Structures are given as C-alpha cells and as structure tokens.
Amino acid sequence: MLSANRYDRHDDGNGTHCEHASSVLQYSPQTMCDTVLVRAPFTLVKEMGWGMIPIVTVVAFTLMGIEGIADEIEMPFGIDKSDLPLDRYCADLKEEIEYIVERLPEGGEGMYGIDDGEGDD
C-alpha cells in the first residue's frame, strides 16, 4: 500500500507533546491497477488507434490475473477450499514425532558419552 504520512504534534493535556502519523493518501494495489487500466486506453488511442484494444485487453487480463493470484496466496491459512490443510499437516507431524520418540534409544553409550535416559544431558 502506498501512503503519504503527515506527522501531527499535539499536547496530550498533561504538558507533554505527542507525535502521531495521520494518513493522508492511501492507495491499494487494486486501486493502482484499476487506475492504470482505465487510463491506458485514453493514453494509447492516438498512437495505436484500434490496435490499442487487444493490447489493453491483454494487459488487463495479465494485471487482473496477478491480482487474483495475490488474493489467493495472501492468506493461505483458513477454511476455504484453496487454503492449506493445516489440520492434516499437524496430524502428520504428530505422527512423525511419535514415530521418532518410540524409536529413541534408552540410555547406554552414545556419541557424546554415557546416556542414563534421564534427559538431563
């Protein structure tokens, strides 16, 4: 998001001065994309004539496609159809950890000396 911030100073009532940013302009990528797509035909019509229509159409599909992909991958965690299956990932990870823990050696001579199985090494 593009923004222009202005810093305001004010007295908070007890003799101290506070600075805070107040947002003046805010443009989202979607707004910028829409602005480009609306203005492009008018800026290209003199140079390209009717050839401007297919070019602006291809540019529009490209930019809107990128915007659609960005919307899908922006929040990958949730319950939508296209979201990552975190419950399955967690269950698989739990199963793998249990498998590893079951096969840990119980004490004895190890790489770093004698292990008594207490977990305090």
Reported as a single tens digit per residue, the pLDDT across 18-44 is: 555 555 556 677 777 788 888 888 888
Does 63 map to a domain? yes
Sequence-ordered strand ranges (E) for 1-121: 2-11, 17-27, 108-110, 113-115
Does 17 map to a domain? no
Does 21 map to a domain? no
Q: What is the pLDDT of residue 3?
A: 43
Q: What is the pLDDT of residue 92?
A: 96
Q: What is the pTM (predicted TM-score) of this model?
A: 0.47
| Number of continuous H segments (helices) and E segments (strands) in the chain | 3, 4
- The residues facing 4 across adjacent strands are 25
Domain coverage including residue 94: 30-103
Does 36 map to a domain? yes
Does 113 map to a domain? no
Residues 6+ apart with CB under 8 A from 92: none
**pLDDT grade, residue 47 (50/70/90)?**
confident
For residue 107, give the nearest of 121, 117, 95 by alpha carbon: 117
Asked whether the predicted pLDDT for residue 71 surpasses 70, the reply is yes
Q: What is the pLDDT of residue 117?
A: 63
For residue 68, give the nearest of 29, 10, 109 by alpha carbon: 29
Does 60 map to a domain? yes
Number of domains in the chain: 1
